[in-house]
Amino acid sequence: MQPEIEARLTQVKKISGFLRIMCVLYILVCVRMLWIVARGPIFHHGPYWGIGTAWYTYSGVEFKVYSLLTRERVIAAVAFFLYCGTAILCGVELFRLLGFYSRGEIFTTSSARQMRRWGLACFGWGIVKLGYALLPLMVPDSRSHGTDPGSILIGLMIVAISWFMEMAAQIREENELTV
């Protein structure tokens, strides 16, 4: 391998190692957010329960805490856990993809498949975000601050790019076999 290509590959390995650390931090933040939501005022009575108009915001949806019934709390809990779970899944799939890159396996069929899985996780997160924005229709005394369909589009674009990467890896493997 040429020295400049070797130097670039070393840079890719270093940067993907750093980005893997950032993915772990992202996953830990998502898990912490999940813990805060599970232990927060939506699901447990706090010391100031029912005093004033306590609006609590979780990812763009606000709830009037003291007026939620048990059924509405369960709906909110399922929505929160789906939202955080798909965010964690996106982080895990990106962590795995960066693992391929940190080992120098950039244009391989296995890294292209992993990229597709990451794209599908982003697409799923976008679907859950749209469903999460509809949560105020199911839970009274809640309001939403709009939706963001960007994750769905980004997920679909990542899946399309992964197909191109997989085709390129197959063409490269065929070219390596020809004499």
Whether 55 shows a pLDDT value over 50: the answer reads yes
Give the chain's mean pLDDT. Answer: 81
How much is the pLDDT for 44?
59
SS (H, E, C) the chain: CCHHHHHHHHHHHHHHHHHHHHHHHHHHHHHHHHHHHHHCCCCCCCCCCCCCCCEEEECCEEEEHHHCCHHHHHHHHHHHHHHHHHHHHHHHHHHHHHHHHHCCCCCCHHHHHHHHHHHHHHHHHHHHHHHHHCHHHHCCCEEECCCCCHHHHHHHHHHHHHHHHHHHHHHHHHHHHCC
Model confidence at 83, in pLDDT bands (50, 70, 90)? confident
pTM of the model: 0.80
pLDDT band for 58, please (50, 70, 90 cuts): low
Residue extents of the structural domains in the chain: 3-177
